């Protein structure tokens, strides 16, 4: 059905504007609503996709045929799978919080997917993959074959391969990159973890600050009961004060919420993304290192080969060399692009962080000042 559109004629590889506008729980799965439009055209597409479809897309990207130096690409990391991937403790604390915070979760997932699609469609090589078009434009989700997880992506986990990770590089540029990747990854992960911890505590915090706002409300109500204006003026004044106080505590609570939200939406999101991205870079570098090992092995074999095998070994060596050069070439470009992008994204996140926190603080300040004035007036 869809074969015609996948033809290479009339291919438009201009950039996309992708928005993931909605997500809903459909039984066990999440269904995303994705709207996209190519810059060069006016047509807007709207499709519904499940997370499985996203995984399939990712798989297609990783296994694309005919791309020189494919293994040198730093693939944008797959977003987190929504739903039951939450650890038990997170799930429990999440249960405690109001439904409002739960709703924000799906917004985070949407945003994560949106970011992923941005990165993919912005990549000069990846955007040309027909699977991308299929994903974004076709009404029906693509036909998937069962993807064997873990073989391509998680090379680093194969035990025998681990020693290759530390194989010394022949190129300083790459050696440095590998080293700094290691440290940067660790710290980024730690920082991401810490912003998440605030989020995990945040529901608890929300609880306690909600509790107090509620308690104060009860306090004032209980005192207010049966106290009219004609009653003891002291009682009346006291009850009104407590009412005002509960309003203040409500403000405090909302402020807590907002501040945590800001952290999470800006820096938290960025750190989360880039700690995965660092992993993706690490995988790329590893693939290249493996290739390097292959090259060196081929060289060794060539040196040791018996005369009748020499020609075959020569071919293998040439192939390995070529592949390695292709990968390295692509990798170099990718690395530079990656760092530019990373810094830019970080900057954006930091600006957004300080902007949003500044705004929140200003709003809270105004509100508190108002309440303070009202309070002073109340018992003047």
Reported as half-sphere exposure (CB side, CA atoms, 13 A), residue 139 has a value of: 2
**Interface with other proteins (CB under 8 A), residue from 26, 180, 297, 336:** 180
Using CB under 8 A as the binding rule, whether residue 81 contacts other proteins is answered as no
Of residues 49 and 178, the one with the C-beta less far from other proteins: 178
Are the C-beta atoms of residues 270 and 324 closer than 8 Å to each other?
Answer: no
Mask of contacts with other proteins, 205-244, x by CB under 8 A? Answer: x--xx-xx--xx-xx--xx--------x-xx-xx--x---
Using CB under 8 A as the binding rule, whether residue 376 contacts other proteins is answered as yes
- Other C-beta atoms lying within 10 Å of the C-beta of residue 273: 23
- Other C-beta atoms lying within 10 Å of the C-beta of residue 213: 20
Over the Cα atoms of the chain, what is R_g? 28
**Interface with other proteins (CB under 8 A), residue from 194, 300, 309, 310:** 194
Q: Give the CA angle between residues 209, 215, 219 to the nearest 5°.
A: 145
- Other C-beta atoms lying within 10 Å of the C-beta of residue 261: 17
Residue whose token pair is 């106080």: 245
The string of DSSP letters for 314-357 reads HHHHHHHHHHHHHHHHHHHHHHHHHHHHHHHHHHHHHHHHHHHH
Using CB under 8 A as the binding rule, whether residue 195 contacts other proteins is answered as yes
Using CB under 8 A as the binding rule, whether residue 13 contacts other proteins is answered as no
Of residues 25 and 180, the one with the C-beta less far from other proteins: 180
Mask of contacts with other proteins, 303-342, x by CB under 8 A? Answer: ------------------------------------x---
Q: Which residues bind other proteins (CB under 8 A)?
A: 180, 183-184, 187-188, 190-191, 194-195, 197-198, 201, 204-205, 208-209, 211-212, 215-216, 218-219, 222-223, 232, 234-235, 237-238, 241, 245, 248, 252, 255-256, 339, 343-344, 346-347, 350-351, 353-355, 357-358, 361-362, 364-365, 368-369, 371-372, 375-376, 379
């Amino acid at each position: 059905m869809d074969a015609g559109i996948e033809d290479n004629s009339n291919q438009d590889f201009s950039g996309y504007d992708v928005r993931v506008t909605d997500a809903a729980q459909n039984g066990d799965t999440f269904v995303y609503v994705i709207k996209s439009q190519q810059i060069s055209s006016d047509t807007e597409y709207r499709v519904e996709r499940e997370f499985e479809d996203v995984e399939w897309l990712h798989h297609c990207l990783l296994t694309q045929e005919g791309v020189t130096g494919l293994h040198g690409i730093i693939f944008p990391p797959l977003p987190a799978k929504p739903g039951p991937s939450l650890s038990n403790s997170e799930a429990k604390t999440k249960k405690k919080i109001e439904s409002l915070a739960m709703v924000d979760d799906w917004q985070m997932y949407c945003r994560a997917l949106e970011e992923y699609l941005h990165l993919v469609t912005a990549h000069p090589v990846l955007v040309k993959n027909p699977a991308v078009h299929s994903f974004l434009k076709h009404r029906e989700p693509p036909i998937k074959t069962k993807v064997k997880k873990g073989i391509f992506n998680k090379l680093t986990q194969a035990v025998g391969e681990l020693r290759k990770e530390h194989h010394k590089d022949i190129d300083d540029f790459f050696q440095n990159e590998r080293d700094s990747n290691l440290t940067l990854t660790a710290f980024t992960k730690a920082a991401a973890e810490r912003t998440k911890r605030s989020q995990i505590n945040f529901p608890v915090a929300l609880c306690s600050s909600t509790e107090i706002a509620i308690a104060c409300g009860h306090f004032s109500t209980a005192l207010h009961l049966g106290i009219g204006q004609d009653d003891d003026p002291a009682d009346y004044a006291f009850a009104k004060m407590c009412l005002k106080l509960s309003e203040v505590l409500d403000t405090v609570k909302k402020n807590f919420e907002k501040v945590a939200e800001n952290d999470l939406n800006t820096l938290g999101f960025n750190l989360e993304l880039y700690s995965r991205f660092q992993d993706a870079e690490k995988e790329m570098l590893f693939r290249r290192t493996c290739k390097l090992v292959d090259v060196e092995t081929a060289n060794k074999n060539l040196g040791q080969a018996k005369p009748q095998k020499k020609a075959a070994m020569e071919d293998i060596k040439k192939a390995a060399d070529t592949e390695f050069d292709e990968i390295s070439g692509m990798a170099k470009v990718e690395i530079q692009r990656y760092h530019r992008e990373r810094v830019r994204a970080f900057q954006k996140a930091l600006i957004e962080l300080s902007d949003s926190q500044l705004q929140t603080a200003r709003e809270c300040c105004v509100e508190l000042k108002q309440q303070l004035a009202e309070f002073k007036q109340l018992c003047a």
